[in-house]
Amino acid sequence: MTDQDPQSEPEPSLWQRREAWIALIALMAILVLCFLLLNRGHQREKVSTALPVVAVAAVDREDLFNEVTIPAEFRPYVETELNAKVSGYLEKINVDFGDKVKAGQLLGVLEVPELKAELDASIAAQQRAEADYTNAHLIYTRLVGVNQEHSNLVAQQDIDTALAKDSVAVAAVASAKADVEKYQTLFGYTRIIAPFDGVITWRSADPGALIQAGTSSDTQAKPLVRLSDNYLLRLDFPVSVMYVKDVHLGSSVTVRVESLGGKTFTGKITRFTDKVSEDTRTMITEIEVKNPELEIVPGMYAVVVLKVEHRSHVLAIPTEAVASAKESLVDVINQAHEIEERQVTLGLETPNRYEITSGLKEGDQVMIGNHSRVHPGEKVEPKPWAEEQTKWNVPNRE
């Protein structure tokens, strides 16, 4: 048996070591908790001292207007049905519907043999009349010449008779020429010519068909073709009496065609009736729309977007800046960055702007958004308003 060293201490037991670790962990947890509470207090103090951030917009001058949409239907600028002036058989036709033609282009030819024979006969009659005139004029000039060389050799009565025959021959030549011109004109009617640039929108006959002369007394006659000028279109639309004052010659108008995927075109007001219909209380207005690529087909429906109630270079603010439309109140941020409630006078209202007639001046900063989260006199931090983020939102105004 060995003796124990009196200075040696007993080693800590397992339980004692565990209690030490637990105490150490508890101490660390208390220190972390104190740190978090202290940091949270600093954050609360920081938040409590931060200024509210509000969106602001500057009062500026703009051209304001409203828009009204009016349904309308396209029609050709010019449209005509081409009839034959004389009756005959259709010898040939050079076009069909859908063809694009130019002014002066030959569209079809009629065969009228009897008219050709009459033209030939009139030309022969003119030639005969000219020959008779040559003979009569020669006789007259010779008789006059003989009397000039030998005085009173030819009786005056013979000279007068020769002069009369010469005059009759002149008249006969003139009559024959008139007949030739008449038959030439009639024969020219056998050729159907396009009177203007356009599109053939209808054709009624094929070669060999008997075409009746298109006279007002002949109800049997049918047009040979229909020609439409689709390169320039008319658009007639009714304007309410409320907006008649906004219709001006030469004003640009936007036209939207839904059947073309909502594509827009621009036209100009070319004419209006200058009279309001007593039945509809509207005034018919017309614009012309150029259609060089023939994208628009006559008969298509369109929506005319007419600008009305123009206000030029007026003070304007976003509609979202008005805290109360009934009371016409806005919140202005002054030079000290404090909220100042101000009453204004509103003018024209557009979908996203108000006209300001009094109460604000150009350059003032007005608050945008929820006005209930701030109060007059409160100091705020202004931030420029991003209009594109809210322009499609409808403001919730009282």
Mean pLDDT score, 49-70: 86
Q: Which domain holds residue 124?
A: 80-211
Question: Based on the domain organization, do 85 and 178 belong to the same domain?
Answer: yes
**Mean pLDDT lowest among 14-23, 37-46, 164-173, 296-305:** 37-46
Residue 224 counted as domain residue: no
Question: Based on the domain organization, do 116 and 239 belong to the same domain?
Answer: no
Q: How far is CA 255 from the centre of its chain?
A: 4
Mean pLDDT score, 36-65: 74
Look up the CATH number of the domain holding residue 380.
Answer: 2.40.420.20
Question: Based on the domain organization, do 196 and 95 belong to the same domain?
Answer: yes
Residues near 386 by beta carbon (within 8 Å), at least 6 away in sequence: 55
Residue 1 counted as domain residue: no
- pLDDT, position 234: 95
Instruction: Quote the pTM value.
Output: 0.64
Residue 259 counted as domain residue: yes
Question: Based on the domain organization, do 175 and 87 belong to the same domain?
Answer: yes
More confident residue, 192 or 49: 192
Per-residue pLDDT band at 395 (split at 50, 70, 90): very low
Judged on CB neighbours under 10 Å (0-12, 13-18, 19+), 331 is: buried
Q: pLDDT of 197-239, one tens digit each?
A: 999 999 999 999 888 887 655 556 788 999 999 999 999 999 9
- pLDDT, position 197: 95
Q: Is the pLDDT of residue 256 over 50?
A: yes
- pLDDT, position 85: 86
Averaged pLDDT score across all residues of the chain:
85
Look up the CATH number of the domain holding residue 306.
Answer: 2.40.30.170
More confident residue, 260 or 49: 260
Mean pLDDT score, 66-70: 91
CA dist 39 and 64 (Å) reads 53
Say what percent of the chain tops pLDDT 90: 46
- pLDDT, position 159: 82
Q: pLDDT of 122-178, one tens digit each?
A: 999 999 999 999 998 998 888 888 888 887 777 888 888 888 998 999 999 999 999
3-state secondary structure 95-125: CCCCCEECCCCEEEEEECHHHHHHHHHHHHH
Task: Name the residue among 289, 290, 288, 273 with its Cα closest to residue 239.
Answer: 273
Q: Which two tokens stand for residue 241?
A: 């009496």
